[in-house]
Amino acid sequence: MQSTATTDFTGVAETALWTLYHRAAEAARKDTVLPDPQAARLVRELDFPFRQRLGPARPWVAQTLALRALAFDGVVRAFLSTHPEGTVIALGEGLETTFWRVDNGQVRWVSVDLADPLALRTRVLPHGRRQCHVPCDISRDPDSRWTELVDPSQGVLVTAQGLLMYLDAARVHQLIAACAETFPGGAMVFDTVSRRFSARCRTGGKGPGGYRLPPMPWGMDADGHRTLQTVHPAITEIRDVPLPVGRGLTGHVVSRAATLPVLRSNRPLITSLRFRAAV
């Protein structure tokens, strides 16, 4: 593989390498919850000082991020079971490798991210005629080119894994409303950090291993579903997507967080939305 310019990444773009690094660390285990050969290959081959820059990969972070990816894979697989030729629009996709884990040979896939991470993705991951890449800063331009490029006739699922916490609440609501408006009958899935975690990260939080996470201005708790209902009248269903049960204590605690006293109201969430079909 060619040497890449990944060392130029800073801020939110660098978080694509952070999640990749942890998924690869989890995938390297014999008892992994998420086999991810593409992620493992990228971490071996990319010209980026993962350990120096991001610190040691902590097993509990690695497993939690892998379980999050597994939960998103489940939502995509369920969508493809009813819309085998549908389109998945992956917002803030970074170096996520869902496509190769769920590909049914028919799905069309639109990857949206900032220009630099997307250029890296294009360079280091294989892509065929069913995949396309759209550079876009969603914080400035939440509903532009990527909405126009999609043929919605076979169904649309919008995913935003590890993205919305980096936007402010007004932009998030605008983005969700744009999806509800543009893709009648479609669906969306995204994850959030809690309000408390977001407040701690206002000026950038210290992650495990000394890595400084960029500010996360938007947080949502389970009661935030009530606000989501008001974002657009075409939102017909709002559902909590549970994390799959993982390995050991971490794997059990994170998947049961909704039932545990301290974590119940202060935990990351995965939320799926459905949009009313056109009449």
Ligand X SMILES: C[S@@+](CC[C@H](N)C(=O)[O-])C[C@H]1O[C@@H](n2cnc3c(N)ncnc32)[C@H](O)[C@@H]1O
Residues near ligand X (CB under 6 A) are 12-13, 15-16, 19, 92-94, 96, 113-114, 117, 136-139, 161-163, 166
Minimum distance between the CB of residue 234 and ligand X, rounded to whole angstroms? 23
Residue with token string 């202060």:
266
Minimum distance between the CB of residue 266 and ligand X, rounded to whole angstroms? 20
Minimum distance between the CB of residue 237 and ligand X, rounded to whole angstroms? 23
Minimum distance between the CB of residue 227 and ligand X, rounded to whole angstroms? 21
Q: How far apart are CA 247 and CA 206, in angstroms?
A: 25
Minimum distance between the CB of residue 91 and ligand X, rounded to whole angstroms? 7
Between 162 and 246, name the residue whose CB sits nearer to ligand X.
162
Between 139 and 265, name the residue whose CB sits nearer to ligand X.
139
Minimum distance between the CB of residue 159 and ligand X, rounded to whole angstroms? 8
- Spatial contact of 1 and 48, defined as CB atoms under 8 Å apart: no
Tokens of 24: 């690869």
Quick one: the chain helix, strand, coil %, rounded to 5? 45, 15, 40
Give the side-chain half-sphere CA count within 13 A for 48. 26
Between 162 and 234, name the residue whose CB sits nearer to ligand X.
162
Q: How far apart are CA 238 and CA 272, in angstroms?
A: 6
Between 114 and 234, name the residue whose CB sits nearer to ligand X.
114
Q: How far apart are CA 209 and CA 213, in angstroms?
A: 11
Minimum distance between the CB of residue 44 and ligand X, rounded to whole angstroms? 17
Between 176 and 234, name the residue whose CB sits nearer to ligand X.
176
Give the largest Cα separation in the chain, rounded: 55
C-alpha torsion 86→91→96→99, nearest 10: 10
Q: How far apart are CA 231 and CA 165, in angstroms?
A: 17
Between 117 and 246, name the residue whose CB sits nearer to ligand X.
117
Q: How far apart are CA 128 and CA 107, in angstroms?
A: 11
Between 185 and 242, name the residue whose CB sits nearer to ligand X.
242
Secondary structure of residue 35 in the 3-state scheme: coil
Burial of 148 (0-12, 13-18, 19+ CB in 10 A): exposed
